Amino acid sequence: MSVETTTSRFDGVKWLIVFVLVAVAVVGNSYFSDQSLLYRVLGIVAIAALAGLVALQTAKGAAFWALVKGARMEIRKVVWPTRQETVQTTMIVVAFVLLVALILWGLDSFLGWLVSLAIA
């Protein structure tokens, strides 16, 4: 999926608006610190949504949105394993981890025994 993006002459202004909106959210959260946390969070979410909408109107924002849509399309194509396949694969991984742990424990014990013989 190829997306052709053309940079608008207003992209810089749009990014400036996004920056100002984020700054307003940060400063507003600090300024209204005596207000309820719920209201401050709702205000930040609303301003962030507005900033996101403005950012999506830029060339980079449109390219990002196309990437998100393409990723969602690819995720739908994935063949997910069944529960039985997942459990079996997990059990195989656990068994191999335990086996390697036992091998490393044995090797560590053997090397520790050799070192204790050498320094004793």
pLDDT digits (tens, 9 = 90+) for 16-65: 999 999 999 999 999 999 999 999 999 999 999 999 999 999 999 999 99
What are the phi and psi torsion angles at 57 (to 5°)?
-80, -5
**Global pTM value:** 0.57
Domain check: are 89 and 108 in the same one? yes
Domain check: are 3 and 62 in the same one? yes
For residue 106, give the amino acid letter.
G
Residue 22 tokens, joined:
């984020």
Which residues span the domain enclosing 110?
81-120
Domain check: are 70 and 119 in the same one? no
Domains held by the chain: number: 2
CB 29 within 8 A of CB 44: yes
Which of 64, 23, 68 is CA-nearest to residue 47? 23
Q: How far is C-alpha 74 from the geometric centre of its chain's CA atoms?
A: 17
Q: Could you give the CA distance from residue 51 to residue 58 in angstroms, rounded to a whole number?
A: 11
Q: What is the mean pLDDT of the chain?
A: 92
